[in-house]
Amino acid sequence: MQTFQYPVPAEWPALQQRAAAAEAAEVEARVAQIFVDVRQRGDEALRHYAATFDGVQLTDLRVSGAELEAAAAQVPAELQQAIRQARANVEKFHATQFYTEEPVETMSGVTCWRKSVPVQRVGLYIPGGTAPLFSTLLMLGVPARLAGCPEVVLCTPPQKDGSVNPVILFTAQLLGITTIIKAGGAQAVAALTGGTESVPAVDKIFGPGNRYVTAAKQLATRYGVAIDMPAGPSEVLVIADSTANPAFVAADLLSQAEHGPDSQVLLLTDSVELLPRVTAEVTRQLAELPRREVAAQALQESRAILLRTPEEMLFFSNQYAPEHLILSVENAEQLAEGVTSAGSVFLGHLTPEAAGDYASGTNHTLPTNGYARNYSGVSLDSFLKKITFQRITAQGLQQVGPVVETMAEAEGLRAHARAVTLRLESLAKK
């Protein structure tokens, strides 16, 4: 990790720069080409990209019923139980997000209300290349089912033998998801956007991914498809004081670095003694990781920064707007009161970000790349649309009508005013 001591605020923007930003134009151009290709060639294009990027020749892009049924036998019982418990926790937390809004009478005879309706067709993108994220399927599939979305389409990359990771299939079966497509990357997002012979087009796309997937999701919005948020690559910012355990902090940093080479981790501390101890722990623990080469690449664009006060660290963090923020400090709850921009916050020395990734109950699909300034993480609301309704009685129209007429005439919208005037004249004749 790169180390910086007491940088002045004028130097902070450079330290807050994401590694992927410099290559954004090149990524977007490549993704645009993939979209055109998938729209023109459909399944043929998806098979081409599976051969090119995944190294597999596919005949059928859909997971068969037999493949789905066989998955459970390949998943160890202990892991099955862990997934079931994680599902229960995620479901319990998200179920509390249901609420009913009562009708409001804004004027006598004028009643307004709002109703939650599920998004009808949702696409879930689940990374499955170097690290098959079955946990992400829980984070997306659970609220999709709670919301009552009628059609759920899952896209995930195939393995080298043409199969889908059995743990992903087991989790899908647990959630009742049966439309599963063997497609990954930007091409999967393109397929969900416009549809192909095998892939149904959807109304909204969910899920994290690398910079290509994130760029593809943003491009999908130009074709009228909504997305949850720009999500990926992964990142974490740890604020640690002298009470932090260096081994814990190092493990938290590496837990995000191992996601991918374009992940980013930042450490902020006001402790001169802690900084070298954490960096030494990162080096020691890195050597023990199966994915150490991936994590090492991420660490090249990661930073450990010594600042002067907790307030200064918090100000830096709010500017950076991290996907994950860990407050490994003595007074975590107090410091957390000042957090204004973060995807998800983890308080205290015993709350690892990994718990939120898997099983505490909160959602781990979160805004990255600074989007936590204006996006929230996935929730039950992400799968719902809010539709407003209103009913106006004769008495209500007589009260609100003149207000509408006056405002419409002032804007020069005569037809708007007439829509009210004609009704008021009709009531006057009765």
Tell whether 94 is in a known binding site.
no
Confirm if 349 and 339 have CB atoms less than 8 A apart: no
Determine which one of 235, 258, 281, 323 is catalytic: 323
324 annotated among ligand-binding-site residues: yes
Q: What share of the chain is helix, strand, coil (3-state, %, to 5)?
A: 50, 15, 35
Establish whether 288 is an annotated binding residue: no
Burial string for 386-405 (b: 16+ CB within 10 Å, else e) reads: eeeeeebeeebbbbbbeebb
Residue 234 annotated as lining a ligand binding site: yes
- Is residue 259 marked as binding? yes
Give the phi and the psi of residue 336 in degrees, each rounded to 5: -65, -25
Using alpha carbons, select from 141, 263, 258 the residue that is nearest to residue 207.
141
Do 220 and 227 form a contact (C-beta atoms < 8 A)? yes
357 has binding-site annotation: yes
**118 forms bridges with which residues in the sheet?**
384
Please say if 78 is a catalytic residue. Answer: no
**Residue 149: how many other CB atoms lie within 10 Å:** 21
Short-list 219, 228, 211, 183, CA closest to 35: 219
Tokens 């948020």 identify what position?
229
Write down the catalytic residue from 94, 235, 258, 324: 324
Residue 241 and residue 330 in contact, taking contact as beta carbons nearer than 8 Å: yes
Q: Does the annotation list 210 as a binding residue?
A: yes
Q: According to the annotation, is 411 in a ligand binding site? A: yes
Decide the pairing of beta strands 235-240 and 324-328. parallel
Q: For residue 260, which of 222, 219, 304, 214 has the smallest C-alpha distance?
A: 214
Bridge partners of 3, per DSSP, are 304
For residue 318, say whether it is annotated as part of any ligand binding site: no
User: Is 360 among the annotated ligand-binding positions?
Assistant: no
SS3 label, residue 259: coil
Question: For this structure, is 349 an active site residue?
Answer: no
Binding residues for substrate: 234, 256, 259, 324, 357, 411, 416
Binding residues: 125, 187, 210, 234, 256, 259, 324, 357, 411, 416
Binding residues for Zn(2+): 256, 259, 357, 416
Binding residues for NAD(+): 125, 187, 210
Catalytic residue positions, numbered: 323-324
